[in-house]
Amino acid sequence: MSDTTKLAFVVLAVVCVTALLFETLVPSHPLGADHARARARLAKGEIAEAAEIYARLGEGGDAVALNNLAVLKYRGTGIDKDGAEAARLFERTAELGLARAKLNILLATTDPCRNSGLDNNRYRAAELEALIAAGDRLAASYLEDCLAKADGQTSGGVTALENPGERLIEAARIATAGGDPDEHLHAGFKLATVAIRAAAGKGDDARLGDMVSKLAEAAMQHFAAAEAAGEISAFLGYSQLSGLGDSLGDGALAARIRETSEDGWLEAAADRGHTRSACRRASRIIRSWRNTMKSPEPKIPRKAEVARFQEFTELCRKTPIPPGQAYKADRSSADTLAAERAYNRRFDHWMKEDAFVITTPDYPNFEHDYMEAVETRGLVRLLARDGLKLARTSAPIGEK
């Protein structure tokens, strides 16, 4: 064998080994190696490099790559924000028949269904349902937000649209068909919020009074699916539903939720490290103690009660600070992404699927809430002030 032939075999071996290493280090992707490389760049916070890959793929008519490039330009994370170019790319991608591009155009050109007017809400809901029919399941998550018109987990109300309760239940069913626990939590909190407000006869939700049981049943099932997947945040959902009592129905799950109080579910979640539940439980204890201090015969809390309260406040203090509250001018794109992901693991759900979206559905921080933690700290200071004032004016006798 000649030296030239030997060299050729060596080069071939190196190429093969390099290819194998690449396959090992860069996860495979159903749309091909280039999409896998772009994903790997995004995971490292190298947004500009990922955009270059998508631009090159887009030149060859790759609709998903064009859509993803448009999303990056629209969001302006790690690259220059360019809304006009994003709009042009979305239109081109929609012409290629990608339903996700049409969803992005809808999200960019209509307002969320909160206080945006009935015409906007009807149009947005109808378009979302058309996209669901076209096969874009994620559109069902945005439809849940539109129908529930809920901001976060505990406020908002149903949109003044036709049959919002039945449509919300169906949208939740479609959105969770893939078994994603985050989608189950999202659906559960939307349904629970509407059910609770309907049961209380608040606002437009009062017209859904005859659907409380159906809404609550659907919410329970979604929370149970999330719990089965290991999501402790489902306990926070159970705590909200527990107050509905008989409206939960007669099943085993309803009985289980009912037999534990709202505070009991919060404590169960906090004992498993759920910071948001710890903050909420601590706040409820503080409010109770402050009311007791103002009563004619105030009582000193028992040592066991104080110890539990301290556990909740300590865990509440571990609530991470959101990136917006800890801004650093010299932070790189990678550092910014890392900070966002540390605070909210759903931050980059917009790029969870093969074809990106310009924004995620209304996934609040189920695990923790910085503003709730701040409120709890404020209540602790008020409790200390009230306790000091009480100590100066009287010597209450209570259980030791």
The pTM assigned to this predicted structure is 0.82
Query: Is the separation of the CB atoms in 47 and 333 below 8 Å?
Result: yes
Are the C-beta atoms of 64 and 357 separated by less than 8 Å?
Answer: no
Identify the pLDDT of residue 273. Answer: 95
Q: Which residue has the higher pLDDT, 175 or 330?
A: 175
30 Cβ neighbours under 8 A, 6+ residues apart = 354
* Angstrom distance (rounded) from CA 28 to CA 40: 10
Give the model confidence (pLDDT) of 63-87 as tens digits. 999 999 999 999 987 889 999 999 9
pLDDT in tens, 219-274: 999 999 999 999 999 999 999 999 999 999 889 999 999 999 999 999 999 999 99
* Tens-place pLDDT, residues 108-147: 998 888 666 788 888 999 999 999 999 999 999 999 998 8
Mean pLDDT, the chain, whole residue set = 83
Q: How far is CA 219 from the centre of its chain?
A: 16
- For the chain, give every domain's residue range: 116-260
Inter-axis angle of helices 139-148 and 118-133, to 10 degrees?
A: 150
DSSP annotation of 204 reads G
Measured CA to CA, the distance from residue 38 to residue 287 in angstroms comes to 51
Model confidence pLDDT, tens digit, residues 20-40: 444 444 445 667 899 999 999
- In this prediction, residue 156 carries a pLDDT of 45
